[in-house]
Amino acid sequence: MAIRLAQADDLEHVLALHREAFADKFRGAFGQHGMERGVAVLALVWQRQGAAALRGVFVAEHQGMVVGTATMRTWEMGSDDGGVAEQIFRQQLGFWPMLRALLAFSLLDHQIERREGFVTSVAVAANQRRTGVARAILTHIEHEARVRGKRFLGLYVSAENRGALRLYQSLGFQEVRLHRSLMSRFLFGAGRWIYMRKDLR
């Protein structure tokens, strides 16, 4: 299995992994009956953003197939997409669905510190779970963070996701604080999120 930075040809595969792994979040963002259209619109956003959409995105490739992905964001990358997402969401979905989607995707925004590698969007194909894919990607991301001079990794995980919690703990992440969100519970069915951190000293 090879871990590498994502390329333009990987966008479709990465989005498919996200759609499968984060179906609850996509339903929360786009509604029960608007999920398929919402995912298609998100693909348009990523295509319009081009290389910027792939900043810090890593993929795991096995036998020529992308079977996992995760992203490491850093302070240097910034977060401004020039309003591309808002523009396309409004054009394709309309005003109120746009607001719902943007709110949903912003609920767990995180102020990334200069010394932090912030891990998001860890997703593995259903038929490859529990085979070490997520562990391999996260180990690679840890190496990349060290190369970039980062002092720690951080991430958020749902308090109900016991499997992910066990994985992160086994990799050396420790629970730092609990974040509660009524809006997140309403949209995603998960209102308690744990911020975890791993020191890289």
CATH fold for domain 2-199: Aminopeptidase (3.40.630)
Strands 116-124 and 174-180: what pairing?
unpaired
As a whole number of angstroms, the distance between CA 65 and CA 122 comes to 17
Average pLDDT estimate for 132-137: 97
Average pLDDT, the chain: 92
Choice among 52-56, 75-79, 145-149, 156-160 with the minimum mean pLDDT: 75-79
Return left, alpha or beta for 180; rule: phi > 0 is left, psi -120 to 50 is alpha, else beta: beta
Whether 80 has a pLDDT exceeding 60, the answer reads: no
| Tens-place pLDDT, residues 50-70 | 888 899 999 999 999 999 999
**pTM of the full structure:** 0.91
Intra-chain end-to-end CA distance of the chain, in Å: 27
Whole-number CA gyration radius for the chain: 16
Strand, coil or helix: what is 39? helix
